[in-house]
Homo-oligomer: A and B are copies of this chain.
Amino acid sequence: MAKQKKAPRPKAETPKGFRDYFGHEVTTRAEMLRTIAGVYHRYGFDALESSAVETVEALGKFLPDVDRPNEGVFAWQEDEGDWLALRYDLTAPLARVYAQHRNDLPTPYRRYAMGPVWRNEKPGPGRYRQFYQCDADTVGSGSVAADAEICAMLADTLQEVGIPRGDYVVRVNNRKVLNGVLEAIGLSDDLLLNTRPMTVNQAAEALYSEMVRRNIESISKLDVLRQIDKFDKVGEDGVMQLLTEGREDASGAFIEGVGLTESSAARVIKFLTAKAETPAETLTNLRSAIGESVIGAEGVDELEQIADLLAAQGYGPDRIVIDPSVVRGLGYYTGPVFEAELTFEIFDEKGRKRQFGSVAGGGRYDDLVKRFTGQAVPATGVSIGVDRLLAALREKGRIEAREVGPVVVTVMDRDRMADYQAMVGELRQAGIRAEVYLGNPKNFGNQLKYADRRHSPVAVIEGGDEKANGVVQIKDLILGAQIAETATLEEWKDRPSQFEVPRDQLVAKVREILDAHGL
């Protein structure tokens, strides 16, 4: 056997684009997921936790003629030959689960799922290759009541996690209305895709490939979709230019226009800007935008029914509103589309005020299960961006920026560890988070530094004298820090943040200090 070289030390690093979450980050997310699950459950949705690993085949990635089907997903080949991959969203697994278990599941099947998904994409600042999704979907109901229910549930969820009425709005649009508008200006029917792309841009790319494959010449409808997708960025005038003769962008580059006539483009703009003071006016505007299109009329009728259902339940346009300017996802969804936005302002990284923006989106996609079974099954659902929602609550100061640490019982005499353990035992019995210092107790300063690093509110000290006298010293570390900032030396020496109490009043005194700090 050849002699091996001693391997160099491994690097202690997360892979590129991955990160770890610590303490409070983990528990606040868990608490939020639990709250959301509570709302979903109350609406009759059942939990589903599907396997994180799927066959590439079931995920619906197209297996190209290359060695590894790993574009966009993390994939590997089993010894026996199957390609497996980490799920990239929670919808593709839902399709597989529903197709696999449909005989045992109720119809309609309302399910929620929450957990990590993985994307094999180039990581960027704040963009990770593993992140949480939190979805609710109703499979097997074509009724717009299912869409309305999802919107109402989304509004309830936002309120329950701490976004009050007035700080959010759920906007509803309908792909069928857009289809009607496109029909009205003479553009042919869309090509349907069997996979679920992530963004409209990706949908457009896929659509484009499909068109090339099928040797279809006209791509103007696709182009229209592409330009509409820029509405959020370039606004009404910008999209108007892009749909007609083209436009110079901020960098001075000229972007070729789609070449629609002014009147055709105006119809698209009419659709995008149809939102009026009241739902009724918005619907009237939409009806005029779609002209004689049958599919368009169906879409407007659906929006009307959704608005009526929601109004009857008390969800007025201050919370859920018909808004045709919602374009995100129109390329993918087949019917109603929803997006939840937080409307309060925050300061961006450059100190400018801006609206916080989107935290959830969804819609109706009716071809979910077909690729497995051949049978079309209607479905509608929503996905909440949990990490964005947490960021929003932090911005608004509705989540404590950091957690209060445990009460630390210091070790003055390492032979009396049992005494100190008894103290934390009593504190925990009273529901107080507490621990004994378990590092080397030799240097007492290190113990207080440790308590500081843990953001501990209280430290407990029992040296030999205290033990003999039946007392303990209790340091209020929060008050201590406040005094340290402002006190004179004399005041400091008095140590007004340290209390000596009889041993049997340990728990009561600690409780009193925690209460005084509202902990």
Interface residues of A, Cβ cutoff 8 Å to B: 1, 4, 9-16, 18-27, 30, 34, 37, 41-44, 46-55, 57-58, 60, 68, 70, 74-76, 78-79, 82, 84, 86, 95-97, 99-101, 106-108, 110, 116, 118, 129-130, 138, 140-141, 143, 145-146, 148-149, 152, 212-213, 308-309, 312-314, 371-374, 405-406, 408, 417-419, 421-422, 425, 428, 431-436, 438-439, 450, 453-454
Structural contact, A82 and B51, CB atoms closer than 8 A: no
Structural contact, B44 and A21, CB atoms closer than 8 A: no
Return the 4 tightest CB-CB contacts between A and B, nearest first: A44-B435, A12-B99, A312-B418, A26-B47
- Given contacts A18-B53, A421-B149, A434-B42, whether A106 and B454 have CB atoms under 8 Å apart is yes
Which of chain B's residues have a CB closer than 8 A to the CB of A19?
Answer: 51
Find A438's partner among B52, B70, B145, B436 (CB 8 Å cutoff).
B145
Complex Cα distance A473/B441, Å? 70
What distance in Å separates the Cβ of A356 from its nearest Cβ neighbour in chain B? 25
Structural contact, A34 and B34, CB atoms closer than 8 A: yes
Find A49's partner among B1, B26, B57, B148 (CB 8 Å cutoff).
B26
Complex Cα distance A16/B52, Å? 13
Which of chain B's residues have a CB closer than 8 A to the CB of A9?
Answer: 371-374
Complex Cα distance A20/B86, Å? 14
Complex Cα distance A52/B128, Å? 12
Complex Cα distance A417/B149, Å? 11
Structural contact, B54 and A14, CB atoms closer than 8 A: yes
Complex Cα distance A56/B318, Å? 52
Structural contact, A433 and B34, CB atoms closer than 8 A: no
- Given contacts A51-B20, A130-B51, A309-B417, whether A438 and B373 have CB atoms under 8 Å apart is no
Structural contact, B10 and A58, CB atoms closer than 8 A: yes
What distance in Å separates the Cβ of A288 from its nearest Cβ neighbour in chain B? 27
Which of chain B's residues have a CB closer than 8 A to the CB of A106?
Answer: 450, 453-454
Which of chain B's residues have a CB closer than 8 A to the CB of A148?
Answer: 421
Which of chain B's residues have a CB closer than 8 A to the CB of A425?
Answer: 152, 313-314
> Nearest chain-B residue to A427 (Cβ)?
B42
Structural contact, A312 and B421, CB atoms closer than 8 A: yes
- Given contacts A20-B97, A20-B101, A21-B49, whether A84 and B15 have CB atoms under 8 Å apart is yes
Which of chain B's residues have a CB closer than 8 A to the CB of A433?
Answer: 41-44
Which of chain B's residues have a CB closer than 8 A to the CB of A421?
Answer: 145, 148-149, 152, 309, 312-313
Structural contact, A22 and B47, CB atoms closer than 8 A: yes
Which of chain B's residues have a CB closer than 8 A to the CB of A42?
Answer: 428, 431-434
Structural contact, A14 and B57, CB atoms closer than 8 A: no
Structural contact, B34 and A22, CB atoms closer than 8 A: no
Complex Cα distance A16/B26, Å? 31
Complex Cα distance A213/B42, Å? 61
Which of chain B's residues have a CB closer than 8 A to the CB of A213?
Answer: 1, 4
- Given contacts A22-B48, A438-B108, whether A15 and B53 have CB atoms under 8 Å apart is yes
What distance in Å separates the Cβ of A22 from its nearest Cβ neighbour in chain B? 6
Which of chain B's residues have a CB closer than 8 A to the CB of A436?
Answer: 145, 149
12 contacts between A and B (CB under 8 A): A10-B60, A11-B57, A18-B51, A25-B49, A42-B432, A42-B434, A68-B76, A106-B453, A108-B439, A145-B436, A152-B425, A312-B422
What distance in Å separates the Cβ of A146 from its nearest Cβ neighbour in chain B? 5
Complex Cα distance A312/B9, Å? 43
> Nearest chain-B residue to A60 (Cβ)?
B10
> Nearest chain-B residue to A140 (Cβ)?
B439
Which of chain B's residues have a CB closer than 8 A to the CB of A130?
Answer: 51-53
What distance in Å separates the Cβ of A81 from its nearest Cβ neighbour in chain B? 12
Complex Cα distance A349/B351, Å? 66
Find A37's partner among B25, B30, B99, B107 (CB 8 Å cutoff).
B30
Complex Cα distance A153/B421, Å? 12
Which of chain B's residues have a CB closer than 8 A to the CB of A44?
Answer: 405-406, 408, 433-435, 454
Complex Cα distance A23/B46, Å? 5
> Nearest chain-B residue to A414 (Cβ)?
B143
- Given A11-B55, A20-B50, A312-B422, 10 extra CB contacts under 8 A: A10-B57, A10-B58, A12-B99, A13-B58, A14-B96, A43-B435, A44-B408, A76-B76, A148-B421, A313-B418
Complex Cα distance A47/B22, Å? 6
Complex Cα distance A416/B24, Å? 46
What distance in Å separates the Cβ of A96 from its nearest Cβ neighbour in chain B? 5
What distance in Å separates the Cβ of A458 from its nearest Cβ neighbour in chain B? 12
Which of chain B's residues have a CB closer than 8 A to the CB of A70?
Answer: 76, 79
> Nearest chain-B residue to A74 (Cβ)?
B76
Complex Cα distance A422/B149, Å? 11
